[in-house]
Amino acid sequence: MHSMPSADPPVRERAAVAQHASPLARLAVFLVGGLIVYASLYPFTGWTDTGVPAFAYLTAPWPRYWLGGEVLANVFVYAPFGALIVWAVYPVVRGWRALLLASLIGGVLSAAIEALQTFLPSRIASNIDLGANLGGTMLGALIGVLTAHALIDASALVQWRVRWFSRDARAALLLAGLWVLLQVPRQPMLFATGDMSILLGDWFAPAVDMMRSLWTPTLSQRVVAEHLCTGAAVTAAGLLITHRSRPVTPRGFLVWVLVTAALACKAVLQPLANSGMSPFAWVTAGAVSGLLLGGAAATLLAYTPRSWQRAVAILALVVQLVIINLMPAEEYFDASRSIGRTGWLHLESLILGLSAIWPLVAIWLLSRPLRPGRTSS
């Protein structure tokens, strides 16, 4: 006689919560550090030796013109980096030593980046930027020191993860977290990922021109297309995490947590990346209706067998890929994409590249068989 599956994690998994380390933080600190370097030195072309010493900016006078928004942006970017350093070295290095180590790493990295910017005509090395970056790192490190024990040592967050998700859910959760970040750049449709023109560039241009010559969608057709694309995107992203969740009763709520995080990320970061842009610029009839429909579908499907969830998620990703690549983008959107950028993020090209391949990686993950004994069904 078979016993009913339990939503409680096995004893050995609850014991794993007490481990005093965070492999996820160690991975994230390298990823965030790489993103900072990429954003600060992009586009990596036009290197020129003007005869100015690399570290001359350290003793340069206070600049006459500077933007408070740019300074805050630098603090905002480096603060997570500082916190991640502290979490990554925990518990080997703790307290004020971790704060000092994180500040040193952040300061050295920022100083080196500013020195390299001396040789990039499109960038300006600045002691203000260095100070803001160091201040952001120290602020983040302080937060990391104050929260390391609560977040890593048998924290409620870790216990929640173990109780709600299977042991092999880490890849799905990382991919879902990346999906939230991908919402920062402007998008032709809400939550649209998988635009191959971003990766293929000029190779894809003839296909785009051909589509525009064959078909110019009406406004109502664009509304329907965004409705379907957004609905498919939300359904796929929601099922990506629920298909790795344990059979706890409110697991459909996870879909709305993910969607809320994505919208919050868009509302907060998109105006910083695009000066003057409204936090609610994404609100259209097609986007709202698609979001609600996709969220409702994913919530209901969260209680179906995992094989069903995976199949529907893959189908939704294919639908999204077809729509975003076959629906001709508005010429106004293409022309306005670069208007109003503040320039501080410079991560947009990298984020857009990740956005293009995200559905393909998600399909690959969803198509992998679940390992027996790792999940409850």
What local confidence, expressed as pLDDT, does residue 116 receive?
Answer: 92
pLDDT tens for 237-264 read 999 999 888 877 788 888 999 999 999 9
CA distance 258 to 177: 8
pLDDT one-digit tens code per residue, 289-314:
999 999 999 999 999 998 999 999 99
Report in angstroms the alpha-carbon separations of 329 from 75, 146, 281, 317: 35, 47, 17, 19
Residue 257 CB contacts under 8 Å (≥ 6 apart), including other chains: none
Lowest mean pLDDT segment, chosen from 18-22, 180-184, 223-227, 306-310: 18-22
Q: Give exposure, 156-186, as e/b (b: 16+ Cβ within 10 Å).
A: eebeebbbbbbbebeebbebbebbbbbbbbb
Query: How many other β-carbons are positioned within 10 Å of the β-carbon of residue 254?
Result: 20
pLDDT tens readout for residues 79-127: 999 999 999 999 889 899 999 999 999 999 999 999 999 998 878 888 8
For residue 241, the Cα-to-chain-centroid distance in whole angstroms is 15
Higher-pLDDT residue of 169 and 26 is 26
Looking only at Cα atoms, what is the longest distance across the chain? 81
AA identity, residue 328: P
- Domain boundary assignment for the chain: 11-160, 166-367
| Average confidence (pLDDT) over 1-5 | 43
Segment 217-224 long-range contacts (CB within 8 Å, at least 24 positions apart)? 217/327, 217/328, 222/286, 222/327, 222/330, 223/284, 223/285, 223/286, 224/286
Residue, of 361 and 170, whose pLDDT is higher: 361
C-alpha 370/C-alpha 377 separation (Å) is 10
- Is the pLDDT higher at 205 or at 187? 187
pTM: 0.67
Q: Which amino acid, one-letter code, is at 343?
A: G
Q: Which residues have a Cβ under 8 Å from the Cβ of 360 and sit 6 or more positions away?
A: 194
